[in-house]
Amino acid sequence: GAVVSQHPSRVICKSGTSVKIECRSLDFQATTMFWYRQFPKQSLMLMATSNEGSKATYEQGVEKDKFLINHASLTLSTLTVTSAHPEDSSFYICSAPHRAGQGGDLTKTQYFGPGTRLLVL
Amino acid sequence: GENVEQHPSTLSVQEGDSAVIKCTYSDSASNYFPWYKQELGKRPQLIIDIRSNVGEKKDQRIAVTLNKTAKHFSLHITETQPEDSAVYFCAASNQFYFGTGTSLTVIP
């Protein structure tokens, strides 16, 4: 099946530094990827939609200058948390849709990366 | 866009009992409804899905029912086991907006 990787899995950084998180589709191409933020035992909050070759689409309330997204290729999207602060500490997870059906079934299943746990001190 | 609501937010059941989680959606054009399970510290994974041309789908102990008229769909887990403890998410059609999640705890 389709595999999505994410790196790093865990990062601890000092307040004010920037952190880059990579999301890769390993065995399929993804023109679109999604970035989520998740708090413990809570839902996945969509932050932005990453589009290959064009600007990302951010959800309301998400600062685009703070969470920089770059979708440089059909298999790689990056999320950079700039000037991170303790309140940015969270679990960040990406996903990529991939068509799992046969024939005329164009339904795409979301495949998730393993997530990145960010702790800002 | 689609708006998905999920209930309950937390659910505790005794091992062996059934668990039901319900989602409602707003866009009548939605035609695909997946359910994801996320174990603690792991990524969400698709466990079952249903398309709008059927009213029910079953896979061993889990089943999903769909009521298009009322615009809601439900996840049913029978004979629950401790390993069913996880957070469950629903989604509708475009799939990138998820329900608020249900934290299920199965008590041994």
pLDDT tier at A36 (50, 70, 90 boundaries)? very high
Is any Cβ of chain B less than 8 angstroms from the Cβ of A69?
A: no
CB contacts, 8 Å: B50 with chain A: none
Q: What is the pLDDT of residues B41-90, one digit of tens each?
A: 889 999 999 988 889 999 999 999 999 999 999 999 999 999 999 999 99
In this predicted structure, which of A13-27, A82-96, A102-116, B90-104 has the lowest mean pLDDT?
Answer: A102-116
Which has more pLDDT, A53 or A23?
A23
Q: Which residue in B42, B95, B101 is closest to A43 by CB distance? A: B101
Nearest-by-Cβ selection for A109 from B46, B98, B100:
B46
C-alpha distance from A91 to closest chain B C-alpha (Å): 9
Contact between B34 and A93 using a beta-carbon 8 Å cutoff: no
What does R_g of chain B's alpha carbons equal in angstroms?
13
| pLDDT range class, residue B104, cuts 50, 70, 90 | very high
- Give the mean pLDDT of chain B: 92
The answer to whether B96 contacts A95, with C-beta atoms less than 8 Å apart, is: yes
Cβ contact A110–B36 (<8 Å): yes
Mutation pick from A110, A111, A116, A117 vs chain B, by most beta carbons of B within 10 Å, is A110
Residue B99, token pair as written in the block: 């329900």
In 3-state terms, what secondary structure has residue A43?
A: coil
Closest CB from A42, A97, A115 relative to B95: A97
Q: Provide the 8-state DSSP code for B97.
A: S
Q: Supply the mean pLDDT for chain A.
A: 90
CB crowding B6-22: b at 16 or more within 10 Å, else e: beeeebebeeeeebbbb
Q: List C-alpha distances in Å: A92 to A51, A52, A95.
A: 18, 20, 10
- pLDDT classification of A101: cutoffs 50, 70, 90: low
Tell whether the model's pLDDT for residue A56 goes beyond 80.
yes
Q: Which residue of A has its CA nearest to B39?
A: A41
